[in-house]
A = this chain, B = another copy of it.
Amino acid sequence: MEKKEKDISTEEKIKEAARIVFTKKGFSATRTRDIAEEAGLNLALLNYYFRSKEKLFHIIMEEKFEQFFGMIIRLLDDESTSLEKKVTAVANDYIDMLLANPDLPIFVLSEIKNNPALFSDRISSRLLKSVFFRQLNEVRPDINVFHFILNLLSMIIFPILAQPVISQIDAMKDKKFKKFIIERKKLIPIWFNSILNTK
């Protein structure tokens, strides 16, 4: 009767395997057999629990989109923190999340590109109405909010996206790459302050 690891339901085993394989290879390159193998389960069980590859993919995709966009929006829509604190918080927490999920950005961007309908405009409107947008407009109405937020996200997300390229450089392999990214947690807020305080 005691709880063991083995008590994870078959359904959840399949979902966990699907998270790994889909985010790693994308929808097209993933075979249902890859997921079954990753889960250590029979192929037929995927269809028993989820009906089709598409349906399973949609469940995982929505989870991953929420992970990717939801966290940013929650950090930027916080009434209790200042603009500077938000930049620091995004740099810290979002980088940590991406280091734990390095396949996430390219998965999300690729799948939205393949099928833009997957991305609901509800997400972008949550960003546009966020506290962050209001705050930046109060402090620096001359700064284009879109440029500012896109610079922040670029400097955080792009290096993770480009890791497979960057890590080919000897000085940037594995742990060195991770150390390099963690350095950016401190540096990104500094760079943004010099932009904010210029002119």
A residues bordering B, Cβ < 8 Å?
25-29, 106, 109-110, 112-114, 116, 119, 121, 124, 128, 144, 146-147, 150-151, 153-155, 157-159, 161-162, 164-166, 168-169, 171-172, 180, 183-184, 187, 191, 194-195, 198-199
- B195 adjacent to A164 (CB under 8 Å): no
- B106 adjacent to A109 (CB under 8 Å): yes
Dominant SS among interface residues on chain A: helix
- A153 adjacent to B158 (CB under 8 Å): yes
- B25 adjacent to A26 (CB under 8 Å): no
Chain B nearest Cβ from A72, distance in angstroms: 11
- B109 adjacent to A165 (CB under 8 Å): yes
Docked pose: A24 CA to B172 CA in angstroms: 29
- A168 adjacent to B116 (CB under 8 Å): yes
